[in-house]
Amino acid sequence: MNLKVNKNRLWQSLTKMAEIGPGDNGGSCRLALTDADIEGRNLLKSWAAQLNCSHRLDSMGNLFIRREGNNGKAPVLMGSHLDTQPCGGRFDGVLGVLGAIEVLRVLEENNIKTEHPLEVVVWTNEEGVRFSPAMMGSGVFSGVFKQSEIFLHKDNNGVSVEQALHNSDQLGSEACKSFPIEAYYELHIEQGPVLELENKTIGVVTGAQGISWSHVTLNGQSAHAGTTPMNYRKDPVSGMIQIVKGLQEIIKEQKSSLYTVGGIESQPASINSVANKVLFTVDLRHPEDAILKIMQQKFKSLIDEVCARENLKSELNNIWYSPAISFNKSCISKVKIATEKLGYSYQNIVSGAGHDACQISYVAPVGMIFIPCKGGLSHNEAESISPENAQAGANVLLNAVLESSVIN
């Protein structure tokens, strides 16, 4: 049985959700646990009520919508997040939640009862915009983060996570911790250009690449820009340039590796003074943990080498490390089989971004489904997908979930 979702209904749901917290340029702005985020959750719960589904909140505000099965077996979960970037798109995360609700609608209207219960989950603060870190709700659920520590994190207005949960009435009575899960599936836009460039409808996600974030500080000596000869300078900006150039060579040595230098700050920021300090951030990524660690070590050695040559002092602070993740082979197979049965073109793909599915993979079998987004653009109000691809992704989700939940 190859069931299909209702394309127009799914698109209408996406459009309706986008009306909540609208951006200035056609996107969405629903920061975690704000009024807009709660309004979106309430709309979702109203749709779930039409399907006679129950809902509950855990102590991190993770929202679970449950459709009962024929017995007390472990549930099959599917979902993502409803919170967005400040100037976010209409589909990042949202597609995974509303695609899952559409799955329940199809099962209900076809009077199909599954052996395993099905649960749609909305994870709290996936984006990590209002509160840091990202993937907060799924991280506490899976034991990656400690709730007691996360509760103390504050937003820019000094409101803690615990206060925000109280204020928004999202602090559930159920403890935020993992429970037996048969499988977890997450439908998501790719947030990159590969599927579109390869003209593929579905990405069968096999895992997520490892990520290493570092803060680098180079200390030199401030001096007059017009009177200090180049060979007498202790210029941290010059050192940074050499480090970035050397980092490019390290990246070239390893296939599929990525680096990004993001924030850069020099002090003093004066046009006619040599800086005495420069701070910059580095994001390193690779699908294999062992290679990522080699890249980290080479990066550290590069910093030491440049600083010794330029007479600088350095501080390297590794602020976050997320190991490379491989998803469950059985879940990957079910996604692939569903895709082939439905006749969609596809390719295996490794996620370049972090997702709630990555956190959940520590406590449950996980599979992910990607669909193309126009130009690979995401975290941007211009983020765009087609109704046809949205339907295709939800169709794969539906049939993979049915494979895991066993139809009677």
Assign residue 271 the CATH number of its domain.
Answer: 3.30.70.360
Task: In whole angstroms, give the CA distance from residue 36 to residue 18.
Answer: 10
b/e per residue 249-266 (b: at least 16 CB within 10 A): ebbeebeebebeeeeeeb
The mean per-residue pLDDT over the stretch 326-338 comes to 98
Residue 205's domain is classified under what CATH number?
Answer: 3.40.630.10
**Domain end among 322, 347, 376:** 322
Quick one: 169 and 309 in the same domain? no
384 in Cβ contact with 377 (< 8 Å): yes
pTM: 0.89
Quick one: 340 and 197 in the same domain? yes
Host domain of residue 219 = 210-322
b/e per residue 89-102 (b: at least 16 CB within 10 A): bbbbbbbbbbbbbb
In whole angstroms, how far apart are CA 27 and each of 12, 334, 380, 384? 15, 33, 7, 9
Quick one: 238 and 197 in the same domain? no
Quick one: 235 and 189 in the same domain? no
Backbone angles phi, psi at 336, to 5 degrees: -65, -45
Task: In whole angstroms, give the CA distance from residue 209 to residue 354.
Answer: 8
Check whether 407 has a pLDDT greater than 70: no
Within a 13 Å sphere around the CA of 112, how many CA atoms are in the beta-carbon half?
Answer: 20
Is residue 204 domain-resident?
yes
Check whether 7 has a pLDDT greater than 90: yes
71 or 272, higher pLDDT = 272
SS (H, E, C) 34-93: CHHHHHHHHHHHHHHHHCCCEEEEECCCCEEEEECCCCCCCCEEEEECCCCCCCECCCCC
Quick one: 226 and 355 in the same domain? no
Expressed in angstroms, the distance from the first to the final Cα of the chain is 12
> What confidence category does residue 72 fall into, taking pLDDT thresholds of 50, 70 and 90?
confident
Check whether 64 has a pLDDT greater than 70: yes
Domain tally, the chain = 2
Is residue 32 domain-resident?
yes
Quick one: 196 and 336 in the same domain? yes
Dump pLDDT digits (tens) for 24-34: 999 999 999 99
